[in-house]
Amino acid sequence: MGIGFLSNKYKRIIEFIAEAMLEIEDGAFSVSKAKIPEFINNYLSSLSPDLKQRAKILLSLFRYSPFLYLKLKAFPSLGLEERQKILCDFMKSNLRPKLLIFKTLKTLTVMGYYRNEETWKDIGYEGPTIKRSPSIEPIILERGEKLKTASDVSAEIRKKADVCVIGSGAGGAVMAKELSQKGLKVILLEMEGYNTSRDFNQREEDMYPLLFAELEARSTDDYSIDVIHGKGIGGSTVHNTRLCYRTPKEILEFWEREWEGKRSLWEIL
């Protein structure tokens, strides 16, 4: 997953957040044994430098969040009940930044705890169906198995085409197909590689890095809109039931106006 980037200071903040957020009952798998700070440290290590820095800023802000409530202590220095009150306030806040911080911390903390098989019996989870149903063989398409991507080629690649479609998801794949059926030569570009059913193990900590750009952490600059961006061949259709729809006419017309297309995309398609 990569080399960790969080110092012990940040790990300690995560540890106290996890303890307050999860509030595990006596006899259940303990938060300390789950090693949530280490998991988050490794899990986030694949992010871009910019997002890593944002993660550190987020944790630093939360460390001093008690000052918002006139408590002159850092978050790890508070008692359990006081920490839970602050988390509850963030959860119920109408301020998007506070809600975003809580959502991010909750997602990572819960994933870090329940990735451990020792926790599954407490929530009635029997584990991935792949392990429970060994008789079910993965469906492998012969054509897909023979698919060659740029990562399979070590030499420089040069191709000529009439159209370059960026993104192989529900929009790009349909457009590439219809343009090629019209006789145009089409190149389809995607961020990362091709995955078959053999690459899926039904574990979130493995599937998020495989399926989503920047671990599903992308958003607009003001954080008002989350961007769940698929990054493998097939884009978001890989995790959205492979549904592909023809791009609506009004969207194509908008693209034409924005980029001053010389030919009508609607007519081409």
DSSP 24-92: PPTTSPPHHHHTHHHHHHHHGGGS-HHHHHHHHHHHHHHHTGGGGGT--S-GGGS-HHHHHHHHHHHHH
pTM above 0.85, yes or no: no
For position 265, what pLDDT does the model report?
62
Q: What is the pLDDT of residue 82?
A: 95
Neighbours of 31 (CB within 10 A): 20
Q: How many CB atoms neighbour CB 23 within 10 A?
A: 10
pLDDT value at 34 more than 90: yes
Indicate the pLDDT class of residue 244, thresholds 50, 70 and 90: low
Most confident of 74-78, 144-148, 151-155, 244-248: 74-78
- Please report which confidence band the pLDDT of residue 145 belongs to, taking 50, 70 and 90 as the band edges: low
Given this model, what pLDDT does residue 266 score?
62
**pLDDT band at 11; cut points 50, 70, 90:** very high
pLDDT at residue number 219: 73
Categorize the per-residue pLDDT at 128 as very low, low, confident or very high, splitting at 50, 70 and 90.
confident
Does 264 have pLDDT greater than 60?
A: yes
CB 237 within 8 A of CB 230: yes
Which pLDDT belongs to residue 166?
92
Q: How many CB atoms within 10 Å of residue 205? A: 16
Q: Which residue has the tokens 């989350």?
A: 226
Instruction: For residue 80, give the amino acid letter.
Output: L
pLDDT in tens, 69-110: 999 999 999 999 999 999 999 999 988 888 888 888 998 999
Please tell me the least confidently modeled range out of 76-80, 170-174, 214-218, 259-263. 259-263
pLDDT at 33: 93
The amino acid that residue 132 corresponds to is: R
Q: What is the Cα Rg of the chain in Å?
A: 23
Confidence of residue 1 (pLDDT cuts 50, 70, 90): very low
**What integer pLDDT is reported at residue 4 of this predicted model?**
66
Quick: pLDDT tens for 189-217. Answer: 988 888 877 788 888 888 888 888 877 77
Task: Kindly list the domain boundaries of the chain, sorted by start residue.
Answer: 8-125, 142-268
Out of 3-7, 65-69, 130-134, 225-229, the most confident range is 65-69
Per the CB < 8 A criterion, the answer to whether 80 and 89 are in contact is no
